[in-house]
Amino acid sequence: MTEQTLLTAENLHLTFGETKALDGASLHVRAGEVVALMGPSGSGKSTLLHCLAGIMAPESGRVVYDGRDLTAMSDTERSTLRRGEFGFVFQFGQLVPELTCRENVALPLRLSGVGRREAHRTATSWLERLDVADVADKRPGQASGGQGQRVAVARALVTQPRVVFADEPTGALDSLNGELVMKMFIAAARETGAAVVLVTHEPRVAAYSNREAVVRDGRVREQEFAR
Amino acid sequence: MSVSFALLGLLENGPRHGYDLKRSYDDAFGRDRSLHYGQVYSTMARLLKNGLVEVELEPGDGPDRKRYAITDAGITDIEAWIGRPEKPEPYLQSTLYTKVVLALMTGRDASEVLDTQRAEHLRLMREMTHRKAQGDLADELICDHVLFHLEADLRWLELTTDRLDRLAAQIRR
């Protein structure tokens, strides 16, 4: 265990009505590692991801990122952190349909104050890296599902985040396209040194991780991966 | 069994010497285990006896004067084998089922039995995924075959985990 812990969830609890979504969930994510969160539907794995990413706040427990307590931050502080340090890939619906793929990838940079020309240049190089440069000037609706997800991966990585949160990133794709997305996504994340928290119910997707954590009834059973 | 079909199949494109057969087999199929010469010659002897190959003797002496050629019966055989689906093999289910039931009967944590197995399956899946990324298309196809089977087993493990309460209730009855 040489890498340092970057992100920690400590004893998280969160209830939706009668349902205990998180019931004492804890997780450690080290810098640069890929952790797969697995578990049956309704086990709390997506809720845990949302809490880790500061999208949702737990009722009790702490989320600590790089020594900073996310649960104690203001909404503005959390948004700034998310924009600068985190990247997101979801199953679908994450690209702005009115913008071209290049503009979509450039968007996080533009929001962080990068000029248009430079943002577009960086976006283009990321589209090339994920082998979707040919859809750069198309709108997401004109790209295939697999291309769209690769554009989404480019957008998640364009700001060089330290953590990428991915919730069923290949959920809407067939095996071959899903595999291509995972291969390129994980290779790019490893190159940039980003840690990845990956929610998936597909074992073949989870197999791209360094280790898995099984979420069951709102708690986590971590499996260490000893190579 | 598949070795003899593989060797037979290698003869379909033309007669070959024993050493040549071994080399072709190793190149095409012998990733994890190469063939022994002895295995080639004993397999050829059996195929010869069954009339699936014939021998052409070349003039001179030395050990490799024999060239093997496939017969019409051999071609019929290989064709039937390639076209016939393989019988699905039983995997670990019966062993694991026994373990899980025993765990439930003796008050042990049956979900841990399954989780341990699950982690082992995923470990091998990682290894295959890693190997796939390093290799050529042949490696990729071979690893994918293993991956899909492991995935099926893993899904069964997950499903069994979800059904443990029912299984426990049934055992207690």
B30-88: pLDDT as tens digits: 766 788 989 999 999 999 999 999 998 887 766 667 899 999 999 898 777 776 655 44
A42 touches chain B (CB under 8 A): no
Task: Answer whether residue A130 shows pLDDT above 80.
Answer: yes
Interface test with B, best of A34, A185, A204 (most B CBs within 10 A): A204
Interface test with A, best of B122, B145, B148, B151 (most A CBs within 10 A): B122
Specify the pLDDT at position B119.
Answer: 86
Counting beta carbons within 10 angstroms of the beta carbon of residue B135, is it exposed (0 to 12), middle (13 to 18) or buried (19 or more)?
middle
A9-23, A25-39, A159-173, B93-107: the lowest-pLDDT one:
B93-107
Work out the mean pLDDT of chain B and round it to a whole number: 82
The answer on B64 and B1 residing in a single domain is: yes
The answer on B162 and B100 residing in a single domain is: yes
Q: Final residue of a domain: which of B33, B61, B83? A: B83
HSE-up of A23 (CA within 13 Å, CB side)?
14
Residue B90 DSSP class: P
Specify the pLDDT at position A227.
Answer: 35
A68 touches chain B (CB under 8 A): no
Q: Which residue of A has its CA nearest to B163?
A: A40
The answer on B129 and B142 residing in a single domain is: yes
Please state the rounded mean pLDDT for residues A139-161.
Answer: 95
- Answer whether A25's CB lies under 8 Å from A59's CB: no
Which domain range does residue B140 map to?
84-173
Backbone angles phi, psi at B52, to 5 degrees: -90, -20
The answer on B131 and B113 residing in a single domain is: yes
Q: Which residues of B touch A45 (CB under 8 A)?
A: none
HSE-up of A93 (CA within 13 Å, CB side)?
4
Task: Answer whether residue A18 shows pLDDT above 90.
Answer: no
Specify the pLDDT at position A31.
Answer: 94
The better pLDDT of the pair B21, A1 is held by B21
Residue A110: which pLDDT band, with cuts at 50, 70 and 90? very high
The answer on B126 and B57 residing in a single domain is: no
Q: Final residue of a domain: which of B35, B63, B83? A: B83
- Answer whether A164's CB lies under 8 Å from A191's CB: no
Q: Is A203 close to B162, i.e. CB distance below 8 A?
A: no
Neighbours of A76 (CB within 10 A): 8
Q: Is A203 close to B150, i.e. CB distance below 8 A?
A: yes
Interface test with B, best of A38, A222, A223 (most B CBs within 10 A): A223
Residue B113: which pLDDT band, with cuts at 50, 70 and 90? confident
A62-66, A91-95, B169-173: the lowest-pLDDT one:
B169-173
Specify the pLDDT at position B31.
Answer: 64
Specify the pLDDT at position B85.
Answer: 55
The answer on B163 and B88 residing in a single domain is: yes
The answer on B89 and B74 residing in a single domain is: no
Please state the rounded mean pLDDT for residues A153-168.
Answer: 96
The better pLDDT of the pair A25, B30 is held by A25
Please state the rounded mean pLDDT for residues A113-142.
Answer: 96
Residue A119: which pLDDT band, with cuts at 50, 70 and 90? very high
Q: Is A203 close to B129, i.e. CB distance below 8 A?
A: no
Give chain B's largest Cα–Cα span: 78
Q: Which residue of A has its CA nearest to B154?
A: A203
The answer on B60 and B138 residing in a single domain is: no
Smallest Cβ–Cβ distance between A221 and the set B115, B121, B162 belongs to B115
Percent of residues, chain A, with pLDDT higher than 90: 83
Would you say the ipTM is above 0.90? no
- Answer whether B97's CB lies under 8 Å from B103's CB: no
Please state the rounded mean pLDDT for residues B115-143.
Answer: 89
Please state the rounded mean pLDDT for residues A84-88.
Answer: 93
Distance from CA of B85 to the nearest CA of A (A): 23
How many domains are contained in chain B? 2
The answer on B98 and B74 residing in a single domain is: no
A173-182, B57-66, B118-127: the lowest-pLDDT one:
B57-66
Q: Which residues of B touch A208 (CB under 8 A)?
A: 126, 129
- Answer whether A119's CB lies under 8 Å from A106's CB: yes
Specify the pLDDT at position B93.
Answer: 62
Task: Answer whether residue B106 shows pLDDT above 70.
Answer: no
Specify the pLDDT at position B77.
Answer: 87
Distance from CA of B126 to the nearest CA of A (A): 5
Q: Final residue of a domain: which of B83, B118, B151? A: B83
B133-144: pLDDT as tens digits: 888 999 999 999
Specify the pLDDT at position B88.
Answer: 41
- Any idea what the CATH number is for the domain that residue B30 is in? 1.10.10.10
The answer on B151 and B103 residing in a single domain is: yes
Phi-psi region of A131 (alpha: psi -120 to 50; beta: other; left: phi over 0): left
Q: Which residue of B has its CA nearest to A38?
A: B158
Q: Is A204 close to B126, i.e. CB distance below 8 A?
A: no
Task: Answer whether residue A207 shows pLDDT above 70.
Answer: yes
Smallest Cβ–Cβ distance between A204 and the set B115, B147, B162 belongs to B147
Interface test with A, best of B115, B118, B126, B144 (most A CBs within 10 A): B126
Distance from CA of A217 to the nearest CA of B (A): 11
Specify the pLDDT at position B27.
Answer: 77
Q: Is B125 close to A225, i.e. CB distance below 8 A?
A: no
Q: Which tokens in the block code for residue A93?
A: 């619906």
Closest CA to A52 of A70, A77, A72, A73: A70
Residue A40: which pLDDT band, with cuts at 50, 70 and 90? confident
A45-61: pLDDT as tens digits: 999 999 999 999 999 99
Please state the rounded mean pLDDT for residues B20-27.
Answer: 86
Distance from CA of A17 to the nearest CA of B (A): 23
Distance from CA of A181 to the nearest CA of B (A): 13
Q: Is A214 close to B118, i.e. CB distance below 8 A?
A: yes
Neighbours of B33 (CB within 10 A): 9
Smallest Cβ–Cβ distance between B162 and the set A40, A209, A214 belongs to A40
Smallest Cβ–Cβ distance between B122 and the set A183, A203, A221 belongs to A203
- DSSP-derived 3-state class of residue B24: helix
The answer on B65 and B101 residing in a single domain is: no
Residue A14: which pLDDT band, with cuts at 50, 70 and 90? very high
Measure Cα distances from A165 to A29, A53, A71 in Å. Answer: 11, 7, 18
Residue A30: which pLDDT band, with cuts at 50, 70 and 90? very high
Please state the rounded mean pLDDT for residues A188-210.
Answer: 94
Task: Answer whether residue B153 shows pLDDT above 60.
Answer: yes
Q: Is A207 close to B133, i.e. CB distance below 8 A?
A: no
The answer on B173 and B125 residing in a single domain is: yes
